[in-house]
């Protein structure tokens, strides 16, 4: 059930806090500002991620090789280099790639 509906676009949410976050897309509000550079964000999690660019913190570590990353999504991409997983397939020739950017470049 998604009782919280956006009056601007009609998208519905299961939690009121998710609607509040969504409404910032329409209003342009970015209430979370970086104290180092002033860049602002719609979500506190985006600010927390951004702060790692200043601190150099890399909390997401590969258990296979020890390489560390500032974002969990970067670790996820990296892990494919160990597993050989290739999720992005060319519709023209069938060649597969581990990253969408490599498929685009192909």
3-state secondary structure of 91: coil
Architecture of domain 60-105: 2-Layer Sandwich (3.30)
In this predicted model, what pLDDT tens digit does every residue of 51-102 receive, in sequence order? 999 999 999 999 999 999 999 999 998 998 899 889 899 999 999 998 899 9
Q: What is the mean pLDDT of residues 15-25?
A: 97
3-state secondary structure of 47: helix
Q: What is the pLDDT of residue 99?
A: 85
Looking only at the bridges linking them, the beta strands covering 40-41 and 32-33 are antiparallel
In this predicted model, what pLDDT tens digit does every residue of 30-58 receive, in sequence order? 999 999 999 999 999 999 999 999 999 99
Q: What is the pLDDT of residue 77?
A: 87
Q: What is the pLDDT of residue 81?
A: 87
Give me the residue spans of the domains in the chain: 60-105
Tokens encoding 27:
């209003």
This prediction's pTM: 0.68
Tokens encoding 2:
């998604």
């Amino acid at each position: 059930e998604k009782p919280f509906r956006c009056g601007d676009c009609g998208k519905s949410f299961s939690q009121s806090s998710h609607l509040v976050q969504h409404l910032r897309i329409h209003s342009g509000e970015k209430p979370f500002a970086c104290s180092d550079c002033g860049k602002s964000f719609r979500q506190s999690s985006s600010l927390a991620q951004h702060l790692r660019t200043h601190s150099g913190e890399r909390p997401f570590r590969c258990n296979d090789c020890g390489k560390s990353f500032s974002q969990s999504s970067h670790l996820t991409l990296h892990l494919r280099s160990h597993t050989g997983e290739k999720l992005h397939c060319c519709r023209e020739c069938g060649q597969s790639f581990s990253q969408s950017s490599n498929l685009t470049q192909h």
